Copies of this chain bind each other. A is one copy, B any other.
Amino acid sequence: MENKISQLRQEHGLTQQMLAERLSVSRQTIISLETGRYNPSIRLAWQISHLFGKTIEDVFIFQEDEKK
C-alpha cells in the first residue's frame, strides 16, 4: 500500500507538525505514515483524506494482490 500524504501535505503548505496537530495525532505517526511503515486505522485514513478533500482511495493506493 502506498499513500500520497507527503505530497498532499506539501501541496497544502503544512509541516508534519502542523498536520499532526490538525489530526490530533503525534508527529511520529505522520512520519511513519509518510514513510509507509504502517497500515493506519480506517478512521485515521478517513480523517486525513477528508482533511484534504479527497476520498480514501484517492490517498491510499492498494495493490490488487494485497494481503494482510
Provide 5 A-B residue pairs closer than 8 Å at the C-beta atoms, listed in order of the A residue.
A39-B41, A41-B41, A42-B60, A50-B62, A57-B57
A42 to chain B, nearest CB (A): 4
Does A36 count as interface, using CB distance less than 8 angstroms? no
Q: State the copy count for this chain.
A: 2
Please report the total number of A residues contacting B with Cβ < 8 Å. Answer: 20
A15 to chain B, nearest CB (A): 21
Q: Which residues of A contact B (CB under 8 A)?
A: 1, 24, 39-47, 50, 55-57, 60, 62, 66-68
A45 CA to B60 CA, complexed, in Å:
12
Using known A-B contacts A39-B41, A55-B55, A57-B56, determine if residue A46 contacts B67 with beta carbons closer than 8 Å: no
